[in-house]
Amino acid sequence: MRLINQKLLSVQTSIFLGTLASLTCGVSGANAALLVGNTEGNNVVIFDERTGRFGGEFIAAGTGGLTSPDDLTYGPDGNLYVSSGTETSGAILKFDGKTGDFLGRFDQGGVLLRPYGNAFGPDGNLYVSSFRSDEILRFDGTTGKFLDVFAFGAGTANGLNGPNDLLFDEDGNLYVTTQGSVSDGKGGIEFLFESQVLRYNIFAAAPEPDVFVPQPTPSPDSFGFVSFLGLEFGADGDLFVSDFANDIRRYDLLTGSLVDTLSTNYTGTTPSNNFVGGLTFDPSGTLYSVGFDFTKGNQGAILRFDGETGDPLPGTGETGPIFVSTNPNLKRPIGITYSPIVVPEPALTLGLVAMGAMFMGRKRGDRHQSN
């Protein structure tokens, strides 16, 4: 059975409508872009998804209290929802999806402690992982009103231990990466359990997780641990999972079996000097991720792969998967998302406006406390 990610379909629809509008008016279109959240820059920056050209800040440092931005999600309204916060605080901040202007704090009620993943569900509500409290909170997708704690960890194996990224499939299943950490109730965490991918059916009377992907053998390029982080669906329905410790693994969504492993060790050392952040696809099926080199002040890079074959797609003059090489504009990046509605050419086109109006649901995210 061929399963297609709702988010990817939304992007493809937006691109088609925007392109049609541009052609109708006989004017040139606009570049799409990659948005990247800098956890040590407290900002969101722009890169051209075709050339890798740096486009400046989409959201300036500290706007609206933006702190250590993690997951970046385009909502059904076309606006950008950003997970923001520290070990003792958290918020979902809402920004204009076309301009980056701050529109206010979205979450109203509930307690978020270092929120990581956020995703709009098929029920229209926003789900947010609260890493430091081992919970997933649910908010009204229109008003931001706190509804309930959808799921929580009990400090037991195969449970919600250090929730990271969130992703829905078209059947209403919620996939969650976990670090395997447990809050100690004193502001700290302990890594007691395995890092896994859990799955919930949000429409079940009493949703309980099942382990969709157990912890694999650590990457040979890692420091001997696994910390699942980002989640995305490929065009064929396979589930791609990034590992903060290194590598991107690809799983069959029907069986949970490992299909492929993509190396993310772009520094070429063993163990690798780089860690890895979230994931995003563009409408053509190209896969992007981010990483940062802890030997270079956590400066980051953008990685690119063919989403079908898994082959690395280096940028001009680069090698391996490096699309944008290590540079100071990327400051410990974690969250990355594709956007067709920013970084215009000199003339703003009707196609860009159409894309902004129709664009729905993009994503993605961090994690790891050492992350």
Query: pTM for the whole thing?
Result: 0.86
Which residue in the block uniquely carries the two structure tokens 């098929």?
122
Distance CA 93, CA 327 (A): 27
Give the model's confidence band at 371: pLDDT under 50 very low, under 70 low, under 90 confident, else very high.
low
| Residues 130, 94 contacting (CB under 8 angstroms) | no
Q: Count H helices, E strands: the chain?
A: 2, 26
Q: Does domain 6-358 match CATH 2.120.10.30? A: yes
Domain edges within the chain: 6-358
Looking at residue 343, what is its pLDDT? 54
Give me the mean pLDDT over the 23-49 stretch: 77
Give the model's confidence band at 31: pLDDT under 50 very low, under 70 low, under 90 confident, else very high.
low
Looking at residue 74, what is its pLDDT? 98
Task: Return the amino acid letter for 350.
Answer: L
Residue 202 pLDDT exceeds 60: yes
Residue 170 pLDDT exceeds 60: yes
Task: Between 119 and 371, name the one with better pLDDT.
Answer: 119
Residue 4 pLDDT exceeds 80: no
**Over the stretch 97-112, which tens digit does the pLDDT of each residue have?**
999 999 999 999 999 9
Residue 30 pLDDT exceeds 50: no
Give the model's confidence band at 361: pLDDT under 50 very low, under 70 low, under 90 confident, else very high.
very low
Evaluated on CA atoms 231, 129, 85, 140, the torsion sign reads: positive
Looking at residue 80, what is its pLDDT? 98
Distance CA 44, CA 335 (A): 9
User: Over pLDDT 90: what percentage of the chain?
Assistant: 80
Distance CA 331, CA 203 (A): 39
Looking at residue 306, what is its pLDDT? 99
Residue 328 pLDDT exceeds 80: yes
**Over the stretch 241-285, which tens digit does the pLDDT of each residue have?**
999 999 999 999 999 999 999 999 999 999 999 999 999 999 999
Looking at residue 351, what is its pLDDT? 40
Omega of the bond leading into 216 within 30 degrees of 0 (cis): no
Task: Between 208 and 349, name the one with better pLDDT.
Answer: 208
Distance CA 51, CA 56 (A): 14
Task: Between 10 and 120, name the one with better pLDDT.
Answer: 120
Average pLDDT, the chain: 88
Residue 91 pLDDT exceeds 80: yes
**Over the stretch 55-68, which tens digit does the pLDDT of each residue have?**
999 999 999 999 99
User: Over pLDDT 70: what percentage of the chain?
Assistant: 83
Cα(first)–Cα(last) distance of the chain, in Å?
Answer: 36
The pair of structure tokens assigned to 132 is: 């430091």
DSSP class of residue 273 equals S
Give me the mean pLDDT over the 167-179 stretch: 97
Give the model's confidence band at 48: pLDDT under 50 very low, under 70 low, under 90 confident, else very high.
very high
